Structure 1
Amino acid sequence: MATSSALLLFCNLAFVVLLASIAAQSPRIAAADSGLVDKVCKQTPDYKFCSDALNSDPRTPGADQITLARVAFSLANSKASSTQGEITSLLSNSTGPVHQHLEQCQGDYATAVAKIQEALTNLDSETYAGLDVLATKAGDAADDCESAFKGTESPLTESNKVLKGLSEICVAVAHLFS
C-alpha cells in the first residue's frame, strides 16, 4: 500500500513537473501572443499553474478563445481520466474505510469526466453557454473526492488539486464567452 501511494504521488508530481518543463524548455511552445492566456490566468487563484498548464499545449500560442477553451478542457479531461485509472488501481489494493472513500471518488471522477466531455462536445457544436457550470461541477467533483477522506489521508490529494486547478482555468476561459 505504501509503495502504491508513493508511486501515485510520484506520478502526480511528474505530471505537474512535465507541464512546467514543457512550457519552460520547449522552443516550439511559447506564451500565447494574444495575451489571452494572461487575461485568463489573472482570473484564476494560481496564475503560474494556469500559465504553465495552458502553455504546455502547442495549440496555445496565438490561440483564440475557442482554441484556448479546447486546450483547457482537454487538459482537464486528461487529468480526470488519468485519475480514474489511479482510483481503479488503488481500489484493487484497498480495504475498509479507504476502499469506501475511493469508491465515492470513483463516482466523483465519473461525474467530472462526464461534465468535461459534455463541455468538449458543446465546444465542438459551438454551444458556449454553460461551459462555466460544467467546469465548476468538475472542480466540485475533485473537492467532493477529497472531502470523502475526512480525517483520513487521501492518496488522491495531489490529483484532486490539479483537477481543481484545471477546472478553475476552464471556468476562467468559459467567462471569455460571456
Structure 2
Amino acid sequence: MASLSGVLLLVHISLMATTLFYYPSHAIGQDVVEQVCQQTEDYQFCFNIILRDPRTPAVNMEGLCLLSVAITIDHVREAVDKIPGLLEKATDPVDKQRMTTCQSNYGAAAGDFQRAWGSASSKAFHDVLGWVQKGSGQVINCENIYRQSPPIRESPLTVDNHNVIKLAGITLVVLAYSALPPPSPGRRSLLPPSKRSRSRECRQSITKPDLQPSPELRLLLQRSRFGWVCLISVAITIYRVQNTRDIIPSLIKQAADPVDIQRLTTCQSNYTAAVDAYTKAWSSASSRAYYDVLSWIQVGANEVMHCENIYRMSQPIRQSPITVENHDVVKLSEITLIILSMIESGSTGSEKENF
C-alpha cells in the first residue's frame, strides 16, 4: 500500500496538473455542466461539487473528466486522513476490524483513482472507466462491511463512502460526454434475420413498446460513441446490482416471517446471478460483442424481475423490501437496450462488425 505522504504528494500533483487541460476557447458552458449533473444520482451534490468549483468554467470536457477524478481523489484523501483517528476511538474489536478493512479499502481506492487520473491525462478513457469502477468498488466494500453481519451498524465513514460513490458516478457521466466524434449515420440492420428477431424478442421482454430515450439521453448519445455509452450504462447497472445484493443479508436477518426469509433468500440467489450476468455484459461491451451484451442483459434483468415477482405470485401478497432497487435495475437495463438498439441501427466500423 502506498504511504500516506506519497498519496498526498500525488494528489497535489494531480490537482496542479489539471490546469494543463484548461482550454478557455473550447470551454464547456454552464448548460452542459447542468446537463451532466442531471444525469447523475444526486443533481444537487453534483451542482455543489462541480458547477461551483472555480476551475470548472475554464475546462473543456476532457478537463472536466480530469477534474472530477481529482475531486474524487481529494475526498478519498480526506477519508484516509480520518481513519487513524477513528481506529483510536474504537473500543469494540469488531469495529476495529471493520475500520482496518476500510483502511485497506481506501488505500487501494486511492491508488485506483490515481491510475484513473493518469489514464484520463493520457486520454485512455476506457482505462479510466475500469479504474473508477475498481476504486468505487473498494469504497462500496467499506460501506457494506457494516451491514453484512451482526452487529449491523452505520459506518462512521458512511458520508465519505456515499460521496466518493456519487463522485465516481459523476465521472462515468462525464466519460459519456467526453469529446469523441459521434458515429456516422447508417440505417441498415446489423443482425442477420435469425438474430434480428431474437434481438426484438429480447428487448420486448423487458421494455415497453412506447419506451423512448429522454431528451437528455439523446443529447448524451449525440456527444459520445454509442459503445462508450453502452459500457457506462452497464457499469452503472453493476453498481446498483452489487449494492442491492450486499444489503440482502441484513434484510434476511431482520425478517421474522419464514415466508419473507424464503423470498429474500431467493432474491439473494437472483441478485448473485444478476451480478454475474451484468459483469459478463460489461466484458462483452468492452470487446464490442454487442449481441452477447444483449443476451446477458436479458439474463440479468430476468433474475431481478423474478425477485420482484416472487412477492406477487402467491400468498401473502406483499411489496418487496427491495422493490425500488428492482425497478431501478430494470430501468437501467431498458436504457442499455435502447443504446444497443441505436448501435444496431446507426453505428459503423468495428461496432457494426461485432454486433
The alignment's TM-score, normalised by the length of structure 2, stands at 0.39
**Which residue of structure 1 lines up, in the alignment, with residue 70 of structure 2?**
74
**Which residue of structure 1 lines up, in the alignment, with residue 116 of structure 2?**
119
**Which residue of structure 1 lines up, in the alignment, with residue 14 of structure 2?**
none
Amino acid at match of 1:131: V
Distance 2:53 2:30 in 1: 15
1:38 to 12, 34, 39: 34
Indicate if the aligned counterparts of 1:44 and 1:50 stay in contact, CA closer than 8 A. yes
Distance 1:138 1:41 in 2: 21
What is the DSSP-based 3-state SS (H/G/I as helix, E as strand, rest coil) of the residue aligned with 1:35? helix
Q: Does 1:106 align with 2:107?
A: no
Structural mapping, 1:39-54, within 5 Å: 39-54=35-50
Indicate if the aligned counterparts of 1:34 and 1:62 stay in contact, CA closer than 8 A. no
Identity of aligned residues (%): 27
Indicate if the aligned counterparts of 2:29 and 2:57 stay in contact, CA closer than 8 A. yes
**Which residue of structure 2 lines up, in the alignment, with residue 158 of structure 1?**
159
1:147 to 139, 144, 147: 144
Indicate if the aligned counterparts of 2:110 and 2:135 stay in contact, CA closer than 8 A. yes
- 1:57 positional shift: 2.1
Amino acid at match of 2:142: C
Pairs aligned (count): 147
Distance 2:177 2:104 in 1: 30
Indicate if the aligned counterparts of 1:70 and 1:120 stay in contact, CA closer than 8 A. yes
Amino acid at match of 1:129: H
Q: Which moved more, 1:130-139 or 1:99-108?
A: 130-139
* Greater RCO (CA < 8 Å, at least 6 residues apart): 1
**Which residue of structure 2 lines up, in the alignment, with residue 135 of structure 1?**
132
Amino acid at match of 1:63: V
- 1:94-143 deviation digits (Å, cap 9, x = unpaired): 24000000011011111211111001111222322222222222222221
Amino acid at match of 1:108: N
- 1:62 positional shift: 4.8
Structural mapping, 1:80-99, within 5 Å: 80-95=76-91, 96-99=93-96
Q: Any runs of at least 4 consecutive aligned residues in structure 1 with deviations exceeding 6 A, and if so which?
A: none
Q: Does 1:56 align with 2:52?
A: yes
What is the DSSP-based 3-state SS (H/G/I as helix, E as strand, rest coil) of the residue aligned with 1:130? helix
Indicate if the aligned counterparts of 1:83 and 1:109 stay in contact, CA closer than 8 A. yes
The alignment's TM-score, normalised by the length of structure 1, stands at 0.76
Distance 1:99 1:142 in 2: 17
Amino acid at match of 2:117: L
Distance 1:128 1:59 in 2: 21
- 1:123-165 deviation digits (Å, cap 9, x = unpaired): 2223222222222222222211111112023111111111111
Distance 1:163 1:125 in 2: 23
Q: Which moved more, 1:163-172 or 1:59-68?
A: 59-68
Q: Which has the larger radius of gyration?
A: 2
- 1:70 positional shift: 1.3
Distance 2:135 2:174 in 1: 14
Structure 2, unaligned stretches of length 5 or more? 1-27, 179-227, 229-355
Structure 1, unaligned stretches of length 5 or more? 1-31
Indicate if the aligned counterparts of 2:34 and 2:51 stay in contact, CA closer than 8 A. no
Indicate if the aligned counterparts of 1:36 and 1:64 stay in contact, CA closer than 8 A. no
Indicate if the aligned counterparts of 2:119 and 2:127 stay in contact, CA closer than 8 A. no
Distance 1:83 1:168 in 2: 18
- 1:34 positional shift: 5.1
